[in-house]
Amino acid sequence: MARPVAIRVLGWLAVLALLAGLGMAFGYAPREAIQGNVQRIMYVHVPAVLTAYLAFGLVLVGSIGYLASSRAGWDRLAASAAELGVLFTGITIASGSIWGKPTWGTWWTWDARLTSTAILFLVYVGYLLLRGLVDEPERRGRFAAVVGIVGAANIPIVHFSVKWWRALHQPSTILGPEPSPIAAPIAAALLVNWVAFTLLFAYLLARRIEIARLEEAAMGGVLRAR
Amino acid sequence: MTGYARRVGIVLWKDLLVERRSKESLNALFFFGLLLLFLFQFSLGSDRARLESALPGMLWLGFVLAGLLGLGRSFLAERENDCWEGLVLTAGDKSAIYLGKLAANVCVMGAVELVILLLFGLFFDVDLGRAAAGLAIILPLGTLGLAAVGTLFAAVTAQVRARELLFPVLLLPVQVPVLLATVSATQVALAGQPLGDAAPWLRLLAGADLVYLVIGILTFEFVLEG
Amino acid sequence: MIAAAGLRKAFGPVLVLDEVSLDVPAGQCLALLGPNGAGKTTLLRVLATVTRPSAGSLRIDGVDALCDPDAARLRIGMVAHGSYVYEDLTAVENLRFWGAMAGLDTSPERLRERLQAVELDTVADDRARTFSSGMKRRLALARVTLGRPRVLLLDEPFTGLDRRAQKWLDEFLLAFKAGGGAVVLATHGFTSALAVADRAIILSGGRLVLDRPAAGLGRDELHRLYDDLIEAPPVGRP
């Protein structure tokens, strides 16, 4: 388990990276010609969705790990990652919505990424709902793991089906960086922000897992699994 | 007959027998289909063009809602007299129970879908003949995808509080991409286009079905012994 | 035949079984007594491998039930409250289902023979929904003896049975013991279980508070023991 010092260092690194990312998003990256400054929200929107995918990937890892070993640590990983995944998915949707309103006049566009993200949001909210309804820790971990695995397997299926559906029906602009070649400053700003988000995620994850561990200990001891 | 196949067979036999005797699901689903028919007629009946373009979506909406009702009740018989416990105590690979239940669900859902389809064809004067070959492939693929996850989640939620609420919350988001594919493919079939046009959708469906089936087989024992 | 040591079972923070050990040799019957909430049903479920214990060991007929639950299950017959009866199926169909699930011979002759043994052959083709609880219990016994279990675990088998059925069950269990099987019987009822039991244990608050031969254990004696030994709620509950 990561030591408290290491976690705190991670936290500060995340703050620094976020500040750097903010600076780059506003200072370094160019102002978009047509959309104006609102396009800069992309530097939140894209890293957020990438981080959400990372989170859901970890949910898959934790779920499989728990089913295979019955060790509570894996379940804590899955649960904490799912919560953060829902958070970052929420950020993705909100930022996409905010981007869309001044740009296309509507709060919601059935853009491929937004649609996929919304579906994932619902899947993992369901995951958290399930966890909330089961009291016994071993059962909760198992049921959640099964749902987590289905949710993760669903991600590529969602990606392809939504992409093809979009290609068929509405060829309007997608929210996101322009197709290659991406200008260097934009790519750099995106990269820095992405790293910042990942660091933030890692910090929050470590903290959340720690809290989960303390909760379990307070509840009368972690069950020694067989 | 190997033990595994025998157990799959006997679960299928038992479920179909119980279904035929109690007639609970079949009746409810049948009348539900009729109700949908009337609703769609009232809202869309006057405009032929709108009706035709909405038909694939309407059909699958009907199938999914009927499926929700039927699937959610998959393990209801097991709650009486501790039969669930009896299933836990059977020796051997528990996935046989999953496959047996899945097969029974597909049979029941398939029967209901066929009836709804024929009714729709009759009352909305739709040429099903030219679409028959395509539908014969699309319907089973779509139903299998719905039932594969539905049976698994039904087993999870059967043991959880607020089952009726949680089951659709868990199942529907996962089904969205499958629905995208089935509705798109059905559109192609009903429009009389060659089935090859829907090939990518069918491939996606087949892939999704395979993934869900494998997950169901591998994880069912963890749900049963939860 | 049944060897359990140090069984513990916790549901979250609540400890329902606390260091329970017991031994039932072949041909013997153990009566499991105790007030409601003492953990009798949980103990039975652990012995039946329905529930995994949080700690401890369990051997059934030489098989490590925790490492290889499936092998243990082949040797166990469990008759719980629920009796595992599908209400919409007939007696024969119920037997056929459970028999096939256990990989046993389910030829019509075999099924009818079993139903005869429990005196249900006259209602073999009636839906189980029409059965009394005593009949469902007998159907459950037909189910568990379709195979040849070495261990029978029964949870309150005498409740809801009339005199005649109780006597029938007594004889059934005696015959089972004579055949070399082991029985664990959880019950409230004092005298009915004691007729067949060789040994009695009392569970209270998840702990074993008594373990002695059943001989000489009369109604009054048991009442006194219950009064003396009944404890506070299980460990862990506020």
A174-178: list long-range contacts, CB under 8 Å, 24+ apart: A174/A111, A174/A112, A174/A113, A175/A42, A175/A45, A175/A96, A175/A99, A175/A100, A175/A109, A175/A111, A175/A113, A175/A114, A176/A42, A176/A46, A176/A113, A177/A42, A177/A46
Q: Contacts of residue C57 in chain A, CB cutoff 8 Å?
A: none
Q: Between A49 and B225, whose confidence is greater?
A: A49
- SS3 state of residue B133: helix
Q: What is the pLDDT of residue C204?
A: 80
**Chains in touch with B (≥3 Cβ pairs < 8 A):** A, C
Torsion of CA A207, A211, A217, A220, to 10 degrees: -170
- Decide if A160 and B204 are in contact by the 8 Å CB cutoff: yes
Intervals of chain B under pLDDT 70: 1, 25, 226
Give the rounded percent of residues in chain A with a pLDDT score beyond 70.
88
Q: How far apart are CA C182 and CA C180, in angstroms?
A: 7
Residue A71 contacts by C-beta under 8 Å, 6 or more apart in sequence?
Answer: A65, A225
Residues of C with CB under 8 A from a CB of B: 45, 48-50, 70-71, 73-74, 76, 78, 80-89, 93, 96-98, 100-103, 127, 136
Mean pLDDT confidence for A6-25:
82
Q: Determine which helix (DSSP H) or strand (DSSP E) holds B30, and give its type and residue range.
A: helix B24-44
Q: How far apart are CA C152 and CA C150, in angstroms?
A: 7
Q: Between C168 and A171, whose confidence is greater?
A: C168
Mutate to test the interface with A, among C54, C67, C237 (most CBs of A within 10 A): C54
Q: How far apart are CA B166 and CA A116, in angstroms?
A: 21
Strand partners, C183: C29, C152
Other Cβ atoms closer than 10 A to A196: 24
- Decide if A143 and B160 are in contact by the 8 Å CB cutoff: yes
Q: What is the b/e burial string over C94-122, where b = at least 16 CB atoms within 10 angstroms of the residue's CB?
A: bbbbbbbbbbbebeeeebbebbeebebbe
- SS3 state of residue B120: helix
Most confident of A186-200, B60-74, C92-106: C92-106
Q: What is the pLDDT of residue C191?
A: 66
Other Cβ atoms closer than 10 A to C55: 14
Whether chain A has a CB inside 8 Å of the CB on B149: the answer is yes
- SS3 state of residue C38: coil
Query: CA dist A216 to A210, A223, C136, C173, C237, Å?
Result: 10, 9, 42, 45, 16
Q: Contacts of residue A220 in chain C, CB cutoff 8 Å?
A: 10, 12-13, 236
Contact A14, A203 (CB under 8 A): yes
**Chains in touch with C (≥3 Cβ pairs < 8 A):** A, B
Q: What is the pLDDT of residue C229?
A: 63
Q: Are strands C63-64 and C55-60 parallel, antiparallel or unpaired?
A: antiparallel
Q: What is the pLDDT of residue B139?
A: 93
Question: In 3D, which of A103, A72, A108 has the Cα closest to residue A215?
Answer: A72
Contact B116, B161 (CB under 8 A): no
Q: What is the b/e burial string over A3-20, where b = at least 16 CB atoms within 10 angstroms of the residue's CB?
A: eeeebeebbebbeebbeb
Name the residue in chain C with its Cα closest to that of B92.
Answer: C70
Whether chain C has a CB inside 8 Å of the CB on B80: the answer is yes
CA distance B39 to chain A (A): 27
Q: Determine which helix (DSSP H) or strand (DSSP E) holds A187, and give its type and residue range.
A: helix A184-218
Residue C164 has pLDDT above 90, yes or no: no
Write out B135-201 in H/E/C secondary structure: HHHHHHHHHHHHHHHHHHHHHHHCCCCCHHHHHHHHHHHHHHHHHHHHHHHHHHHHCCCCHHHHHHH
Q: Contacts of residue B178 in chain A, CB cutoff 8 Å?
A: 157, 161
Whether chain A has a CB inside 8 Å of the CB on B224: the answer is no
Mean pLDDT over all residues of chain A? Answer: 83
Chain A, 126 to 165: residues with Cβ < 8 Å from chain B are 126-127, 129-130, 133-134, 138-139, 142-143, 145-147, 149-151, 153-154, 157-158, 160-162, 164-165
Tokens of B131: 């679409």
Question: In 3D, which of C34, C25, C9, C23 has the Cα closest to residue C155?
Answer: C34
Q: Contacts of residue B9 in chain C, CB cutoff 8 Å?
A: 100
Please give the residue range of the domain that contains residue B216: 3-224
Contact C81, C195 (CB under 8 A): no
Residue C232 has pLDDT above 50, yes or no: no
Q: How far apart are CA B93 and CA B87, in angstroms?
A: 11
Tokens of B184: 């798109």
Fold adopted by C1-75+149-238: Rossmann fold (3.40.50)
Q: Between C152 and A31, whose confidence is greater?
A: C152
Query: CA dist B81 to A24, B17, B23, B164, C136, Å?
Result: 65, 18, 20, 21, 10
Q: What is the pLDDT of residue A225?
A: 37
Q: How far apart are CA B213 and CA C89, in angstroms?
A: 29
Residues A108-162 pLDDT 10s: 878 788 888 999 999 999 999 999 999 888 889 999 999 999 999 999 999 888 8
Q: What is the pLDDT of residue A111?
A: 78
| pLDDT bracket for residue C74 (50, 70, 90) | confident
Residue C76 has pLDDT above 80, yes or no: yes
Mean pLDDT confidence for C133-152:
89
| pLDDT bracket for residue A33 (50, 70, 90) | low
ipTM of the complex: 0.90
Residues in chain A: 226
Write out B48-113 in H/E/C secondary structure: HHHHHHHHHHHHHHHHHHHHHHHHHCCCHHHHHHHHHHHHHCCCCCCHHHHHHHHHHHHHHHHHHH
Whether chain C has a CB inside 8 Å of the CB on A218: the answer is no
Mean pLDDT confidence for A192-196:
88
Residue C75 has pLDDT above 70, yes or no: yes
Whether chain C has a CB inside 8 Å of the CB on B22: the answer is yes
- SS3 state of residue C91: helix
Task: Count the alpha carbons within 13 Å of C18 in the hemisphere toward its beta carbon.
Answer: 16
- SS3 state of residue A130: helix
Task: Count the domains in chain B.
Answer: 1
Q: What is the pLDDT of residue A121?
A: 95
Chain centre to alpha carbon of residue A64? 19
Q: What is the pLDDT of residue A181?
A: 55
| pLDDT bracket for residue A173 (50, 70, 90) | very low
Residues A51-96 pLDDT 10s: 999 999 999 999 999 999 988 999 999 999 999 999 999 999 999 8
Residue A205 has pLDDT above 80, yes or no: yes
Tokens of A121: 């949001």
Q: How far apart are CA A127 and CA C198, in angstroms?
A: 50
- Decide if A224 and C13 are in contact by the 8 Å CB cutoff: no
Torsion of CA A214, A215, A219, A225, to 10 degrees: -70
Q: How far apart are CA A113 and CA A119, in angstroms?
A: 10
Whether chain C has a CB inside 8 Å of the CB on B10: the answer is yes
Q: How far apart are CA C12 and CA A130, in angstroms?
A: 17
Q: Contacts of residue B162 in chain A, CB cutoff 8 Å?
A: 133
Handedness of CA B115, B118, B120, B123 (dihedral sign): negative
Whether chain C has a CB inside 8 Å of the CB on A221: the answer is yes
**Chains in touch with A (≥3 Cβ pairs < 8 A):** B, C
Residue A57 contacts by C-beta under 8 Å, 6 or more apart in sequence?
Answer: A152
Question: In 3D, which of B173, B180, B181, B184 has the Cα closest to residue B150?
Answer: B173
Name the residue in chain C with its Cα closest to that of B76.
Answer: C86
- Decide if B212 and A134 are in contact by the 8 Å CB cutoff: no
Q: Between C9 and C237, whose confidence is greater?
A: C9
Range from A174-178, B20-24, C87-91, C184-188 carrying the lowest mean pLDDT = A174-178
Q: Which of B14, B17, B81 sits opposite C83 (nearest CB)?
A: B81
Name the residue in chain A with its Cα closest to that of C235.
Answer: A220
> What is the helix, strand, coil percentage profile of chain A, to 5?
80, 0, 20
Name the residue in chain C with its Cα closest to that of A135.
Answer: C12
Interface contacts B/C by beta carbons within 8 Å: 78
A202-205: list long-range contacts, CB under 8 Å, 24+ apart: A202/A10, A202/A14, A203/A7, A203/A10, A203/A11, A203/A13, A203/A14, A204/A84, A205/A55, A205/A58, A205/A80, A205/A81, A205/A84
Residue C211 has pLDDT above 50, yes or no: yes
Task: Check whether the bond before A181 is cis (ω within 30° of 0).
Answer: yes
Tokens of B146: 């719905």
Q: How far apart are CA B85 and CA C222, in angstroms?
A: 32
Residue A39 contacts by C-beta under 8 Å, 6 or more apart in sequence?
Answer: A32, A99, A103
